[in-house]
C-alpha cells in the first residue's frame, strides 16, 4: 500500500470511529450523568458517556484495523504484537467532559493515527455543530471533507500579536492554575484577547480554521492534541513544545510564524 493510500484509509477509519463516538455522546447529552467518577482531581470527571464513546471507537478500529495498537484516554493502551502494523491510534472519546456534563456546547471527539514518524491522519469532530476538521500528513486541511485554503475564513489571520485572538486552557490542579494565571497576565496585555473554551482538541481545530489566531496550553495529554496538532501544522502554523517549568507541566503552542516566537517567549517567561 502506498503512503497516500494508507493516509486515505486511516482518515476514512478515523471519520467512521469519530461518528460512532458522536452517536453515543449525543444520545446521552443533557441527560443525567451515569457512572460519574473522578480521575486526577475532584474537578476532573469521567462518566459512562466517555466510556461508551471510547468503546464505540474501539469497536470500529477492531473491525477495520485489527492489527493496530490503540491508546485511549479511558481504556489505556491496547498493544498488538510487535510490528503487526506500525500504526497506533490515539483517542480522546470526549474532550471537554466538564463542558459536556454542564451542557456547555464546546466538546469534541479527537482521533489520530500515528507511526514512528508522527501523526498520519487526524480528525476532530464537533458533534453538536456536525462539523468535522481533518487532515492527513501530506494532504490539505479539510472542513467537512472539503479543502480549506490557508487564511480562508471570515477574516484574515492576524500577523501581529497585538491583534491576535488566542485560545488557551487551564489545568485541574489549583496549584498549577495559579502559575498559569501568572502567564496569562503576561499574555493578556500583549494580545487582542484570550479565550478559554474547555476542549483542547476543538481549540486546536478552530485555530487551524482561523477562528482563533494561536493557541497554547500546558498539562494537555497526547490524546488531547494528537489530531489537533496535525490540523494546525497542515494550516501552516508553527508548533512548539512547551517544556516543563517550575510549577508548570509541559504543553503545546501553535501560532503563525509571524509572531510564534514572540508568543512563545511570553508563555515560557522570557518576554
Model confidence over 164-209: pLDDT tens digits? 999 999 988 889 999 999 999 999 999 999 999 999 999 999 999 9
- pLDDT value at position 31? 75
Distance CA 239, CA 208 (A): 11
Quote the Cα angle for 40-41-47, to 5°. Answer: 75
- DSSP H or E segment with residue 23: helix 3-28
- Single pTM value for the model: 0.92
- End-to-end Cα separation, the chain, in angstroms: 48
- Give Cβ neighbours of residue 23 (< 8 Å, ≥ 6 apart): 56
- Does pLDDT of 153 surpass 70? no
Instruction: Please give the mean pLDDT across all residues of the chain.
Output: 91
Task: Give residue-wise pLDDT tens across range 33-68.
Answer: 667 676 666 555 678 888 999 999 999 999 999 999
Mean pLDDT of 88-103: 94
Mean pLDDT of 157-164: 96
Q: How many CB atoms lie within 10 A of CB 39?
A: 14
Quote the Cα angle for 147-151-157, to 5°. Answer: 145
- pLDDT value at position 46? 72
Q: Which domains does the chain have, with CATH numbers?
A: 3-147 (3.30.540.10), 161-268 (3.40.190.80)
- pLDDT value at position 80? 54
- pLDDT value at position 62? 94
Task: Give residue-wise pLDDT tens across range 203-236.
Answer: 999 999 999 999 999 999 999 999 999 999 999 9
- pLDDT value at position 271? 45
- Does pLDDT of 82 surpass 50? no
Q: For residue 162, which phi and psi values (nearest 5 degrees)?
A: -65, -20
Mean pLDDT of 16-43: 81
Mean pLDDT of 120-136: 98
Mean pLDDT of 103-130: 97
Q: What is the pLDDT confidence band of residue 154, given thresholds at 50, 70 and 90?
A: low
Q: What is the pLDDT confidence band of residue 148, given thresholds at 50, 70 and 90?
A: very high
Q: Which three cell numbers stand for residue 73?
A: 484516554
Amino acid at each position: 500500500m502506498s503512503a497516500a493510500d494508507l493516509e486515505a484509509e486511516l482518515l476514512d477509519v478515523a471519520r467512521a470511529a469519530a461518528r460512532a463516538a458522536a452517536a453515543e455522546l449525543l444520545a446521552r447529552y443533557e441527560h443525567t450523568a451515569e457512572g460519574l467518577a473522578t480521575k486526577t482531581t475532584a474537578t476532573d470527571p469521567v462518566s459512562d458517556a466517555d466510556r461508551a464513546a471510547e468503546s464505540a471507537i474501539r469497536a470500529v478500529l477492531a473491525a477495520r484495523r485489527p492489527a493496530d495498537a490503540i491508546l485511549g484516554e479511558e481504556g489505556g493502551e491496547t498493544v498488538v504484537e510487535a510490528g503487526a502494523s506500525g500504526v497506533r491510534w490515539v483517542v480522546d472519546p470526549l474532550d471537554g467532559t466538564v463542558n459536556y456534563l454542564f451542557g456547555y456546547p464546546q466538546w469534541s471527539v479527537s482521533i489520530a493515527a500515528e507511526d514512528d514518524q508522527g501523526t498520519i491522519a487526524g480528525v476532530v469532530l464537533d458533534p453538536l455543530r456536525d462539523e468535522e476538521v481533518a487532515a492527513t500528513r501530506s494532504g490539505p486541511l479539510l472542513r467537512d471533507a472539503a479543502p480549506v485554503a490557508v487564511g480562508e475564513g471570515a477574516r484574515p489571520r492576524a500577523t501581529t500579536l497585538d491583534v491576535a485572538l488566542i485560545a488557551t486552557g487551564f489545568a485541574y490542579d489549583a496549584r498549577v492554575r495559579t502559575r498559569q494565571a501568572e502567564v496569562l497576565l503576561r499574555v493578556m496585555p500583549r494580545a487582542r484577547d484570550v479565550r478559554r473554551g474547555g476542549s483542547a482538541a476543538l481549540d486546536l481545530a478552530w485555530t487551524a480554521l482561523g477562528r482563533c489566531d494561536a493557541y497554547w496550553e500546558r498539562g494537555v495529554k497526547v490524546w488531547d492534541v494528537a489530531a489537533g496538532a496535525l490540523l494546525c501544522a497542515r494550516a501552516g502554523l508553527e508548533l512548539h513544545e512547551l517544556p516543563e517549568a517550575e510549577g508548570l507541566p509541559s504543553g503545546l503552542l501553535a501560532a503563525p510564524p509571524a509572531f510564534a516566537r514572540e508568543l512563545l517567549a511570553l508563555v515560557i517567561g522570557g518576554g
